[in-house]
Structures are given as structure tokens and as C-alpha cells.
A and B are shown apart, each in its own frame.
Chain A
Amino acid sequence: MNVFLWVIVPYLCLAVFVVGHVWRYRYDKFGWTTRSSQLYEDRLLRLGSPLFHFGMLGVVGGHVIGLLVPRSWTEAVGIDDHLYHYAAVGGGLVAGFMALVGMSILIYRRRTVGPVFSATTVMDKVMYAFLAAAIVLGMWNTIAGSIFSLGGEYNYREGVSVWYRSFLAFQPDADLMAEAPIGFQLHALVAFALFALWPFTRLVHVFSAPLGYLTRPYVVYRSRDDRPLGNAAPRRGWDQVPR
């Protein structure tokens, strides 16, 4: 059971995540968009969307630090457990709270504003459920686990994080996850389910964050398509005459 939950399922989800994105990018570039609904409604979006997105950026940053940076590294630069704990819980609470409030506003908007609701797909709803569950479970772990120590002391940097790094190194240690509190286990499972859903939802827009905008020239020039006119696709064999 442990091997199934903490080795097979995560790798399956990871495989779907990677292959799914490659597939979606190759076959559905046209569908690769944020599917913005700002045209329909502006007031609530203006509040909720930046809250949620900036909150999520913080959450993702926190996860990168918490999961990928080993305890020994932070100790080596002189950050002891106590300081780290404060920074992590403080930052996590602020970012998580922003994301949660933002998401509540956005879901409320999606449900109550008619045009936005009718533009919502089934995939959107499923994705929202998993995303909300992951955020709520994550907040629960932070508040209940790290502040009030419900269910005993647990240092995820000795358990979950080590497992995650072993998972990324393709030498997964399932036992570490099996010993983690149920909150962490659920959070991880929901998150992996979300990763598996990812390529098939509008979440793909995360991977088109337009950072190139900062460096590219303002006006883009492009030559007419190299495709010949008409609908005949170029054939294998002779190259076209260079021009």
C-alpha cells in the first residue's frame, strides 16, 4: 500500500503531467490560454485575481524552499530551526491566506456572475475542487500542525521534504511519507492529483508566464509564413528553393 501511494501514484501523476503538457502543446496551442473572463466582470476580479495569484506565487516559492532546500543547507548559513520555523509559518500564513481569500472571491464571482458561470467548463470545476482542497489542507497543516502542534510534533523537513527529494532523484523512500501525519499525506495526494489534471485544464497558462517580454524589442516583425499559399502542406523530399 505504501509503495502504491507514495511511489506508483506520484510517478504516474508526474508522467501524466509531463507527457500531458508535451501533448497539449503540440496538438492544442490554440487552446493554450488563460481563458480570461474579465470582459464579463471587472470589479470582483480586480480584487480577487491579484490576491490569489500573488498569494500563489508566495505559496509556490515557500514550497520550493521547504521541499527542495535540505535542512543542512539552511543550518550551514546560520539559520536555526527556530528562525526558520517563524519565517516559514509567517510567510506561509500570509501567502496562504491571500490565496485562500482571493480564491474565495474568485469562486464566489464564478458562481454568482451569470456570464462567468456559463463560461465555466466541467474541467474548471473539477480543477477548482482539487485546487481548493490542496490550499485548505495546506493551510490546515500550517495552522494545526506547525502552530498548535495538533497530533504531535512533526518536522516536515525531516520527513516529507526528504521523501520529495528522493522522489525527484528517482530513488523514492516510501516509508518517510507513510510516517507523516494524515494532513500532510492528504495534502500530497491531492496535490499530485492536481498535477495529473494540470495539462488538461486552464492551469497550463502558468507555463506561458511572459518573462520574455522584459527583454524582447517592443515591435515584433515576422516574415510571412514559410508555408506555401493554399492548403497544401509541404511534403517530404526536396527542400523548397531558398529565398
Chain B
Amino acid sequence: MRVMAQMAMVMNLDKCIGCHTCSVTCKQAWTNRAGTEYVWFNNVETRPGLGYPRTYEDQDEWQGGWIRKPNGRLELRAGGRWKKLLTIFSNPKLPSINDYYEPWTYDYETLLNSPQTDTFPVARPKSLISGKDMNVEWSANWDDDLGGSQEHAARDVMLKGIEDKVKLEFEQTFMFYLPRICEHCLNPSCAASCPSGAIYKREEDGIVLVDQDRCRGWRMCVSGCPYKKIYFNHKTGKAEKCTFCYPRIEVGIPTVCSETCVGRLRYIGLVLYDADKVLEAASIEDEHALYDAQRACFLDPDDPEVQRAAEQAGIPGDWIEAAKKSPVWALINRYEVALPLHPEYRTMPMVWYIPPLSPVVDVVRDTGEDAEDRVNLFAAIDTLRIPVEYLANLFTAGHTEPVDKVLKKLAAMRSYMRDINLGRDPDESIPAAVGMTGEEMYEMFRLLAIAKYSERYVIPTAHAEQAHALEELATECAVSDYGGGQQDLFGEGSGYPTPVAVENFRMLQDRQTSDTLASPSDKSSRVNLLNWDGKGTPEGLFPPRDEGGS
């Protein structure tokens, strides 16, 4: 047993309203730079729909992820090492910018500089790739809310095999939203595809990152990732990907997408897993067994033996404690309501989803029946094969049984909690029908519906014993080492940057020890503008007048 810790996420799709706040805040934080205009570390797709980039799930076309060879070993679907090196001069399976979309801006200057005219001036869209005028024909969420569903949603790869059963007439269509970030897989095919070895999985928390100094821009990772969550920055010539906001995670706060999620549908926590079992689980023959195989890799943090092994593997005590409280662990293994996205890619993804019950509930409600009655809901889950099969194509490689089980649990929770909320006696036969106790069901309800910030995000900080080196604490005797010396040999800005704490300390010291308040003779002047009424020239507000006069 080789215990490793993985920072993981679960998203509760029933709560997603498709507002794209996660995408927008993520973009503002990470990809609002030149070269990353088309890059969405987080995006929200309407399903059924094409996804981003278009039809990325069609691995016959894009060749992402792993396949199991007849001899039982895993191989990159796009080919082995030699094939990768021989095709390095022109990547055969790289999505072009048109499979994402051509990013654009508007020529706002024509609005500002327009003379008075009878008609309104128009700001024309300009391509950010070529700088020329362009027609906006596609974007990151063009088929949002089933927009153009006849044309686009019908091409959804996940509808293969059930397309004759799915009616895409607008009023009969079910839909839900699927927010996606990098999966931070246990068996990442992007890292395996990288010829330079620049993509690595962090030992401490399993976050998959691109070393920007080692990336040489071969672009094999973009093809290798079946989720197409590695993007090529066309200005710097380097690959970039979702970082799980590791600078935030390291200090114990959730990712930007989770922090800003309006529906509070994201959960972050640790999962302990046995690294020795990963490859074996990923190579299992039956695609339908991959979901269970991956769950079998996870280790119960309450098991004393696991705790001992984790300690031996150098996992700090507070991390083991956090793993016990992890909402992700609870949703995946205790309540078994979270499912992985596309386990059939064999990358062992670590961002899991609670499938939405809403398509089923909506149908029941539309028929005028009681949509919170267990019997009605269970019957609907059994008869409404289309949403269930569709969800199974997304989350369990087409195996409907686990999806059925999860939906029934959610439906049972719905009826069980209604009795409690209405002050009736809880019906213990409802949780029993899905193999749970009433207490468990209530706990699950708490976690899914009313869990507070600290319960949804259980994030241990990076090694507490290193806190003395944290920037703003600066409990080491740092001050005496800064200033002086030869650090500014090449002028201002050379040498090591002065930490903010030290800078503040020196400014405070200057202020406390200077003789004059407003204009110390040897320092730049400081004056309190709040006390200035705009008349006259208080001393120190303006530089001294040149006495020579000119």
C-alpha cells in the first residue's frame, strides 16, 4: 500500500443554474491575458450539447486518453512513445482554433470618434487572432440553454446509440448544465503524452501542473487529454491548464470557481488513495467496472491501518484529519452518490459529479403527479430511460445501474425530507428502500442542502510546519538580512524582491523616526489630502519652487 493524498472536487449538478459565474471569475483570475483569449480553465456546458471544444468527447476523432491493449496493458490512444516522437513536427490530432472559437473584441473607438450621424455607429467585431474584421459565428457557450438545439445538440457525441429515442423537439427536451474543470486525474494521459516531461502530478496533493520553464510547446498534451482541458497559449507557445488554484489551496481556501459558485454546488476535500492500485484499476477490461475499480483505489481515512500507512508515507497528521472530514470522500464512498466523468477514458478523473434528478422530477411534475412522492419518482426513473441512459453515457461508460441507484437515493431523500419538513413522522421504509438508514439519509441531506462553507470546503493548508516561511508571518529574523549588501548592484529592481512585510516594516520605521511630519528633508513628501480644501499650497504638497526662477 502506497498512500497518497489527492485534492478532489464533487459538483452537485442538480444545483447548477448555468450562470457561468465560475467560468467568468476563473477567467478574470487566470486567463485574461494575450494568447489565452479562448482558454477557459472552467467552462459550463449545456447538455445535451457539443461541449467545448466542439465534440471533444468523440475520442474516435480526437484520440485522447488511454486504451487497453489486448494484452491488458494501457497505451495512449493516440499512439506510443515512438509514434509521438515521429509525429512531433506536426501534431496529427490537434484541435484548431476553429474547434474552439476565434476570439474577438469590438472596435469601440468608432463609437467614441464617430461624428454626429443619423444612424448609430457600430462597433464591429475584430478578431484577436488576425486583427481583421470577422463574423462572430461560434463561442465557448454558443449552444447554451439548447440554443440551436436542432442543429447542435443533435450532434452530441453522448447521444450515440440513443439518438432515435431522444426527441429534440424543444418542449420535450431535458437539459442540465455540466461545469467542467481539469480532472486532475490519478492516471493523467496529458502528463504521459508530454515529450518534455513538463507536466507533473504533485506528490503532496495530486494537483496536475505544467512547468512553464520546461514546456517546449510540442502540443502533445492537448491531444492526449480526452477532456481537452489543456490549452495552448498561442502567444507564449506554452501549454496551460487549470491549476486547481493551487496558491489558494495551499493556504486553505477553495478554488476561485468554488468560492464564487452561486449555487454552492461544489465540494472540495482530500481523498486518500493507494497509488499502487491505480494502474491495475485503470487497466480493468470491462468499461462498466471502471467506476467501482476507481472507488476501490480510495482508502478509508477512518481505518487505523490506513492512517498508519499514511503517516509512514509522510502525510501530515492534519491532512489525515482533513481526509476524515472530507465531503468528497463522503459523497463518493459513504453515500455513493457521486460519479466520475467519463471513466471509460481510463485516466481516473478526480472531479466527480452528482447526476441531476431534475430531468426526471420535471417530467413527473409536468404530468400533474406528485413529484416528491417516492413511488412516482422511482417509477419515473425506471421508465424514463432516455435521461438515465444519457447520464450513464457521461458518468459510467453507459452502465445504467449505478446511475439508477444514485437517482433513486436522491429521489428517496426528496420524499423522506418532505415528511420531516412538513412535521409528519419520517417514513423509515423510504431510506431502507435504497439501503440507507434514516440517520444517514438526514446526514446526506445536510451535506447536500445546507452544508456551510467549512463543511463544503475541507482544505488542509500546505504543511503547517513551514508556516514560519509564509510571507506575511515572517517570524524568522528576516529584517536584518534585507537592505544594504550588494543586492542592488545592477540598479533598482535587481536582486531579490523585498517581501511586503519587510517593506512595510521599514516604511513604518521611517515614519516613526523621522523629525518632520509632512516633508522629511531626505524623503519624498507626504501630505494629508483630506485636510486640504483645494486652496493654497500646503507645505510638502508640491515640490519646492526653483528659487532661480524661470
A: residues with CB less than 8 A from B are: 29-30, 32-42, 45-46, 49-50, 52-54, 114-115, 118-119, 205, 208, 210-214, 216, 218-224, 228-233, 235, 243
Contact in complex: A119, B216 (CB < 8 Å): no
Q: Would you give the shortest CB distance from B203 to chain A, in whole angstroms?
A: 5
Chain B residue contacts of A232, Cβ below 8 A: 469, 471, 474, 478, 496-497, 499
Among B97, B188, B197, point to the contact of A39 (Cβ < 8 A).
B97
Q: Would you give the shortest CB distance from A72 to chain B, in whole angstroms?
A: 35
Chain B residue contacts of A212, Cβ below 8 A: 197
Q: Would you give the shortest CB distance from A38 to chain B, in whole angstroms?
A: 6
- Ranked nearest first, the 5 interchain pairs of A and B with the lowest CB-CB distance are A230-B471, A228-B469, A210-B195, A218-B192, A33-B237
Q: Would you give the shortest CB distance from A123 to chain B, in whole angstroms?
A: 14
Among B89, B201, B465, B481, point to the contact of A221 (Cβ < 8 A).
B201
B292 within 8 Å of A (CB atoms):
no
For B186-215 the 0/1 string (1 means CB < 8 A from A) is: 011001101111011111100000011111
Contact in complex: B188, A219 (CB < 8 Å): yes
Chain A residue contacts of B497, Cβ below 8 A: 231-233
Among A54, A214, A222, A223, point to the contact of B82 (Cβ < 8 A).
A214
* Contact A39:B192 (CB < 8 A) given known A34-B218, A213-B81, A229-B466: no
Chain B residue contacts of A119, Cβ below 8 A: 234-235
Chain B residue contacts of A220, Cβ below 8 A: 191, 194, 197, 199-201
Chain A CB within 10 Å, residue with most, of B90, B213, B219, B234: B90
Among A32, A41, A46, A115, point to the contact of B216 (Cβ < 8 A).
A32
* Contact A219:B217 (CB < 8 A) given known A30-B212, A39-B234, A232-B499: no
Q: Would you give the shortest CB distance from B537 to chain A, in whole angstroms?
A: 39
Q: Would you give the shortest CB distance from A219 to chain B, in whole angstroms?
A: 5
A218 to B76, CA, bound (A): 10
Q: Would you give the shortest CB distance from A161 to chain B, in whole angstroms?
A: 29
B84 within 8 Å of A (CB atoms):
yes
B129 within 8 Å of A (CB atoms):
yes
Contact in complex: B470, A35 (CB < 8 Å): no
A106 to B401, CA, bound (A): 53
Chain B residue contacts of A213, Cβ below 8 A: 81, 84-85, 194-197
B512 within 8 Å of A (CB atoms):
no
Q: Would you give the shortest CB distance from A22 to chain B, in whole angstroms?
A: 16
Contact in complex: A115, B130 (CB < 8 Å): yes
B96 within 8 Å of A (CB atoms):
yes
Query: Which secondary structure dominates where chain B touches chain A?
Result: loop
Contact in complex: B213, A30 (CB < 8 Å): yes
How many inter-chain contacts with C-beta < 8 Å in the A-B complex? Answer: 150
Q: Would you give the shortest CB distance from B330 to chain A, in whole angstroms?
A: 27
Closest to A210 in B: B195
Chain A residue contacts of B197, Cβ below 8 A: 210, 212-213, 216, 220
Q: Would you give the shortest CB distance from A23 to chain B, in whole angstroms?
A: 15
Contact in complex: B188, A230 (CB < 8 Å): no
Contact in complex: B469, A224 (CB < 8 Å): no
B228 within 8 Å of A (CB atoms):
no
B238 within 8 Å of A (CB atoms):
yes
For B463-506 the 0/1 string (1 means CB < 8 A from A) is: 10110011110100010010000000000000011010000000
Contact in complex: B216, A49 (CB < 8 Å): no
Query: Which secondary structure dominates where chain A touches chain B?
Result: loop
* Contact A35:B129 (CB < 8 A) given known A229-B471, A231-B497, A243-B465: no
* Contact A33:B499 (CB < 8 A) given known A54-B89, A219-B192, A230-B471: no
Contact in complex: B202, A224 (CB < 8 Å): yes
Chain B residue contacts of A39, Cβ below 8 A: 94, 96-97, 232, 234
Among A34, A210, A223, point to the contact of B204 (Cβ < 8 A).
A223
Chain B CB within 10 Å, residue with most, of A39, A210, A216, A231: A39
Q: Would you give the shortest CB distance from B345 to chain A, in whole angstroms?
A: 15
Q: Would you give the shortest CB distance from B258 to chain A, in whole angstroms?
A: 21
Q: Would you give the shortest CB distance from A39 to chain B, in whole angstroms?
A: 5
Closest to B193 in A: A218
Among B85, B132, B191, B212, point to the contact of A219 (Cβ < 8 A).
B191
Q: Would you give the shortest CB distance from A131 to chain B, in whole angstroms?
A: 16
A214 to B204, CA, bound (A): 27
A150 to B391, CA, bound (A): 74
Residues 55-113 of B contacting A (Cβ, < 8 Å): 81-82, 84-85, 87-92, 94, 96-97
* Contact A34:B237 (CB < 8 A) given known A218-B192, A220-B191, A220-B200: yes
Instruction: For the A-B complex with A39-B94, A119-B234, A229-B466 known, give 19 more contacts whose Cβ atoms are closer than 8 Å.
Output: A32-B213, A33-B217, A34-B216, A34-B237, A36-B219, A39-B97, A45-B90, A49-B90, A114-B130, A115-B130, A119-B235, A205-B216, A210-B85, A222-B202, A224-B204, A229-B250, A232-B471, A235-B481, A243-B465
Chain A residue contacts of B312, Cβ below 8 A: none
* Contact A229:B462 (CB < 8 A) given known A36-B232, A213-B84: yes
Among B211, B216, B472, point to the contact of A210 (Cβ < 8 A).
B216
Residues 316-355 of B contacting A (Cβ, < 8 Å): none
Contact in complex: B499, A231 (CB < 8 Å): yes
B548 within 8 Å of A (CB atoms):
no
Chain A residue contacts of B188, Cβ below 8 A: 219
Contact in complex: B90, A38 (CB < 8 Å): yes
* Contact A38:B91 (CB < 8 A) given known A118-B130, A210-B196, A224-B462: yes
Chain A residue contacts of B544, Cβ below 8 A: none
A119 to B201, CA, bound (A): 32
A48 to B82, CA, bound (A): 21
Contact in complex: B192, A208 (CB < 8 Å): no
B150 within 8 Å of A (CB atoms):
no
Among B90, B213, B214, B469, point to the contact of A229 (Cβ < 8 A).
B469
Chain B CB within 10 Å, residue with most, of A53, A118, A205, A230: A230
A78 to B45, CA, bound (A): 68
Chain A residue contacts of B472, Cβ below 8 A: 230
Chain B residue contacts of A114, Cβ below 8 A: 130-132
Chain B residue contacts of A230, Cβ below 8 A: 469-472, 499
Contact in complex: A229, B218 (CB < 8 Å): no
A118 to B465, CA, bound (A): 50
